[in-house]
Amino acid sequence: MATNTGKIATVIIVAIIMLAVGFVGGYYMFRGQQVEEVPKEIVLIDDLGREVTLDKPAERVVSLAAAATRTLYDLGAFDKVVGVDKYSDDPPEAQNKTVVGSTDIESIVALEPDLVIAWWYYEQKLQQLEELGIPVIYIHPTTIEGIYFDILLLGKAVGAEEKAEDLVSNLKTRVAYIEALVKNLTKTTSRPKVYLELYSPYKTVGRNTFTHQMIELAGGINIAGNLTGYPKLSDEYIIEANPDVILYESDLPLENFTNRAGWDQINAVKNEKIYHLDRHIATASPRFIEGLEFMIWAFFEVNVSETSGYITIAATSKSAVQTSTEMTCLHELFMLQDMLEKVITEIL
């Protein structure tokens, strides 16, 4: 009798353990399927410090900022974009969307947007939209941290918060790798002086811009780093600064630079270190990481993607690590459950 009682007690204990294991396993299995309660409203703070309230994640977005258009694409929310400005050509299919004038209120309203995203300098010209009840988010990132902020901001606005967090995590990992790489490169190689010419001749970037930060992160020294904003330089200033590398965004031919008066004295011209910089990878979108990698190639003739450790780092994301960890836990739980089932069978 005592033996039977002991067996029954053992079975009960094992059954309780199995129930606990099953509960934990069920938690991991179905956690991702739980339906989260949709908040009644979404409160956002844009780059101008303005509070923008949405009733729900935006479904019809008009993007009047090319960087935002690309960011929405990278967030997997491109299907929510119903209109863009004429500069939004990345991805190329953006031009298949309805193109509107950046200050054409009537055309924007006709698209029935529940959110408009625009550069900061359009604030005064787009006030009428908010008077009509259409929320507007203004972006103005001046640092790479500002780009991260905007990715998270737009992700929250369109209901893609998790994707935004993963994207920012991936970008931060890749930037950290680039910082370590540049630190190593500059131990044996001098940092080159760099002149970046924007689309307009002689117009460049000052220290309070994310493009300046890109130059510095990639190991260069911005010759206009002592200035602010987007100054227009003179021939004399550039010749005296004597940049080692020249980057330019315009479609001007190379001869436009080599034939400028006095520029034959500049190191970048003498050493043929003049490179075209695709504006799509030097703007405030997730593609800035490509711009950083291009700059490192231009400055040090090093292809980042071919350096050791790069592929592994580029492929790593927070969600991937989390999923891997959860799968390991599930595997261990299932093994334990199988073992307990065998014990019960032997007892009975």
What tens digit of pLDDT does each residue of 167-224 get? 999 999 999 999 999 999 999 999 999 999 999 999 999 999 999 999 999 999 999 9
Q: Is the pTM of this model over 0.95?
A: no
Q: What average pLDDT does this structure show over 310-319?
A: 52
Query: Angle formed by the axes of helices 210-217 and 144-157, to 10°?
Result: 120
CA distance 8 to 27: 29
Residue with tokens 């069920």: 26
Per-residue pLDDT of 147-174, as tens digits, reads 999 999 999 999 999 999 999 999 999 9
CA distances from 203 to 138, 140, 195 (A): 24, 19, 10
| Strand, coil or helix: 137 | strand
Q: In this structure, which long-range contacts are made by residues 25-31, counting pairs with CB atoms below 8 Å and at least 24 apart in sequence?
A: 25/330, 25/333, 25/334, 25/337, 28/326, 28/329, 28/330, 28/333, 29/330
| pLDDT at residue 228 greater than cutoff 70 | yes
Q: pLDDT at residue 238 above 80? A: yes
Q: In what side-by-side order are the strands of the sheet with 221-222?
A: 221-222, 193-197, 245-248, 274-276
Q: Is 27 left (phi over 0), alpha (psi -120 to 50) or beta?
A: alpha
CA dihedral 168, 171, 176, 182 (to 10 degrees): -150
Instruction: Over range 72-87, report the average pLDDT.
Output: 97
